[in-house]
Chain A
Amino acid sequence: DAGITQSPRHKVTETGTPVTLRCHQTENHRYMYWYRQDPGHGLRLIHYSYGVKDTDKGEVSDGYSVSRSKTEDFLLTLESATSSQTSVYFCAISDTSGSVFGPGTRLLVL
């Protein structure tokens, strides 16, 4: 969807390095989410935000932090990347019902 962009779209990094993924929306939606997608697990919620500076943990938050300093941007940071964080990461936004997903970021941690 043109209303959500993610950057970078692909990244290769080494174990132990910090990584930040960015999600940008132009829809002015209040809620933003980060999910990861892995074989056999579907999509799982990492963190979410319900407003500027308001964030909370999802079901797989260990090893991740987030920040939201502006309505339109939601950042996901891997403080020290591990191989288990190799995945496809999706940002999503919502207003009152279902979520709209971004195009995804494919991350490979070597």
Chain B
Amino acid sequence: GESVGLHLPTLSVQEGDNSIINCAYSNSASDYFIWYKQESGKGPQFIIDIRSNMDKRQGQRVTVLLNKTVKHLSLQIAATQPGDSAVYFCAEISPLGGGGNKLTFGTGTQLKVEL
């Protein structure tokens, strides 16, 4: 598997349970965040995003919560399925000179779904 899986915090959940993955960020000026999912051998895949003018956003089976006071994000996955097994990253988005956006990633959390 991906060597990026080493040294990662791991969350193990039973199939059908809800999962909560947490992320702390450091820059209080950050105003845009994205959660990515990375399966073994693949690139990160966009899950959901949130801007700082919101504290909650929902997608299909996923919810992101943003607490700006303590600089904390969480990703909630409802009714976790085996296909949800992956590494999950939060990323802060910041502007680059010339345009475009830089993603600053955390080290990730390995989610393991047990049958």
Chain A interfacial positions (CB closer than 8 Å to B): 1, 30-31, 33, 35, 37-45, 48, 50-51, 54, 56, 58, 88, 90, 92, 94, 97-104
Give A31 to B6 CA distance when docked, in angstroms. Answer: 31
- Kindly provide the distance from the CB of A92 to the nearest chain B CB, expressed in whole angstroms: 8
Among A99, A100, A104, residue most surrounded by chain B Cβ atoms (within 10 Å): A99
Known: A37-B4, A88-B4. 7 other contacts (CB 8 A): A33-B102, A40-B107, A43-B44, A50-B96, A50-B100, A88-B3, A104-B42
Name the CB-closest residue of A to B103.
A99
A-B contacts, 8 of them at CB < 8 A, read A39-B4, A40-B107, A42-B4, A42-B106, A56-B98, A94-B100, A94-B101, A104-B41
**Given A39-B4, A42-B108, do A98 and B34 touch, yes or no (CB 8 Å)?**
yes
CB of A50 within 8 A of CB of B98, answer yes
Interface of A is mostly: strand
Chain B interfacial positions (CB closer than 8 Å to A): 2-4, 6-7, 32, 34, 36, 41-46, 49, 89, 91, 93, 96-103, 105-108
CB of A48 within 8 A of CB of B2, answer no
| B46 touches which of A35, A43, A45, A98 (Cβ 8 Å) | A98
Give A39 to B2 CA distance when docked, in angstroms. Answer: 9
